[in-house]
Structure 1
Amino acid sequence: MTTDESIETRTAQPAASLPPRAVSLPHGTGIAPFTAVLWDLDGTISDSAAGIIDAMRRTYDTLRMPIPNDATLRSYVGPPIIDTFREQGLDDAIELTHALETYREIYNEEGLLASPQFPGVGDIIRELHAAGMPQSTATSKPEEAATRVLVAYGLASQFDFITGATADESRSEKADVVAEALARLRGQGVDLSNVLMIGDRFYDVEGSGVHGVPATYVTWGYGRLGEEAGAVAVVTTPAELRSVLGLPQ
């Protein structure tokens, strides 16, 4: 299999959208109107793959480690970076810390703010905010980096909370980030009876599901066929996401 064929296989997405299905979970039905919305960042709001992949490639080179092929590097967009390094055999705490610091220095200098928004998604976030919808990110990106990206997009003020990984990666798994986002919203008195998670990877679907939050899967991100399993809806365009959220077209 060539590299291009591998990329195509890994990034194949559902060919069609799936309308919302009703569920009965502790924090949601999957059907609008919702009481709060959680957003993934990379692959959902931010088209960040190119910057992350380039930074990962340069990090491996700096650490004198074998550089994975493009398809493998692309699969690393979404999950916690620390898990990626562990998969590559960096189990020692000092090695992990050095790898994380190297990656972040490279990425923060060149890749972080070079990533464009996916067209139309920012408009949805703004409309939800204007309608009074409580919103938080639930991203495995460190909070400081996520905040910088959303400030650059002009979207930071549209969120009640920017919730993500901690700087030391002690909170980086999606389920842990979702738990923190829910706790922050709950502390603000937000009704959590019908929350929706929006994301592009199975980490979003599974991580939110741990806490009884249904997820809508978007196909413009970096997942591959099958990662939508368990989502209450699959959308292929922002217009379809608007419909799921009950926003006017």
Structure 2
Amino acid sequence: MKNGYIMFDLDGTLTDSKAGILNGIKFAISQYEIYTIETEKLISCIGSPLRSIFNNFFHLDDKATEKAIDRFHQYYSEIGLYENTIYDGVNNLLERICVNNRLIVATGKSVYYAEAILKHFGLYQYFDCISGSQSQKGITSKSQIINDAITRVHGINTSNSIMVGDRKHDIYAAREIGIKSIGVLYGYGSYKELSNVGADYLVAKVDDLFTILTE
């Protein structure tokens, strides 16, 4: 791929943020009488909006959910943000493909958190645009986040763009907008999840992304 626009999810695609997110969720619900937390089930929630996690997974009402979200951000902004690691090979991949393409982050995280993580781990310089959740503007779903990037980046269109992500939300959004997608199997989604939603490509490791993105 040359002169293309490559959009990357953040959690589970560029960085392994599992520890920080799970610790933030556990901190958020520690105020309630919820004693059993199955880590594997919690991992399956990563990539979903926080409101959906607390409403649907923990069955909190709207008032309790708002309190849980506030507590999550309290933990995450101070500690969880940095309980994070870059997947092996990501830095090298971005350095090589940014020469002939423009790179974009399209994440369900807030722009503030996304930029802080990318700067902290030395990845920020590879990206032309960071698009994330902006609840004050009504930009919360992955398709809205991708569309936000499309409106902000000059020259981008569906024919020369591709979305790289690890969860069904990434693939659904790409299909809805009309761009190709790559599902990464080293993140938090499974082969079944990503194949069932129709990812155009599936890759098992970061090195495989380079092959597809330079075809």
Deviations 1:44-63 (A, max 9, x none): 00110111111111211134
Report the AA paired with residue 97 of structure 1. Answer: E
* Segment of structure 1 superposing worse, 67-76 or 198-207: 67-76
Q: Supply the RMSD in Å over aligned alpha carbons.
A: 1.9
CA 67–100 in structure 1, closer or farther in 2 if over 3 Å, else same: farther
Pick the aligned partner of 1:125 from 94, 109, 113: 94
Residue aligning to 2:150: 182
Residue aligning to 1:47: 16
Residue aligning to 1:9: none
Higher strand share: 2
3-state SS of 1:139 partner: strand
Distance in 2 (CA, whole Å) between partners of 1:86 and 1:143 is 23
Q: Does 1:83 align with 2:49?
A: no
CA 172–68 in structure 1, closer or farther in 2 if over 3 Å, else same: farther
With structure 1 as the length reference, what TM-score do the two structures score?
Answer: 0.79
CA 191–205 in structure 1, closer or farther in 2 if over 3 Å, else same: closer
CA positional deviation for 1:224: 1.8
CA contact (8 A) 1:60 1:67 kept: no
CA contact (8 A) 2:171 2:181 kept: yes
Distance in 2 (CA, whole Å) between partners of 1:169 and 1:98 is 21
Q: Does 1:60 align with 2:29?
A: yes
CA 34–71 in structure 1, closer or farther in 2 if over 3 Å, else same: farther
Distance in 1 (CA, whole Å) between partners of 2:3 and 2:194 is 20
CA contact (8 A) 2:158 2:179 kept: no
1:212-223 correspondence runs (5 A): 212-223=178-189
Identical-pair percentage: 27
Residue aligning to 1:134: 102
3-state SS of 1:215 partner: strand
Report the AA paired with residue 217 of structure 1. Answer: G
CA contact (8 A) 1:35 1:192 kept: no
Distance in 1 (CA, whole Å) between partners of 2:31 and 2:105 is 31
CA 198–143 in structure 1, closer or farther in 2 if over 3 Å, else same: same
CA 117–155 in structure 1, closer or farther in 2 if over 3 Å, else same: same
The structure 1 segments of at least 4 consecutive aligned residues displaced by more than 4 Å after TM superposition are none
Distance in 1 (CA, whole Å) between partners of 2:164 and 2:148 is 16
Residue aligning to 2:159: 193
CA positional deviation for 1:33: 4.1
Total equivalences in the alignment: 212
Q: Does 1:225 align with 2:194?
A: no
Distance in 2 (CA, whole Å) between partners of 1:207 and 1:66 is 35
Residue aligning to 1:98: 67
Structure 1, unpaired ranges of 5+: 1-31
Distance in 2 (CA, whole Å) between partners of 1:97 and 1:43 is 25
Residue aligning to 2:84: 115
CA 192–199 in structure 1, closer or farther in 2 if over 3 Å, else same: same
Structure 2, unpaired ranges of 5+: none
* Segment of structure 1 superposing worse, 58-67 or 157-166: 58-67
Pick the aligned partner of 2:177 from 211, 215, 223: 211
Higher helix share: 2
CA contact (8 A) 2:3 2:102 kept: no
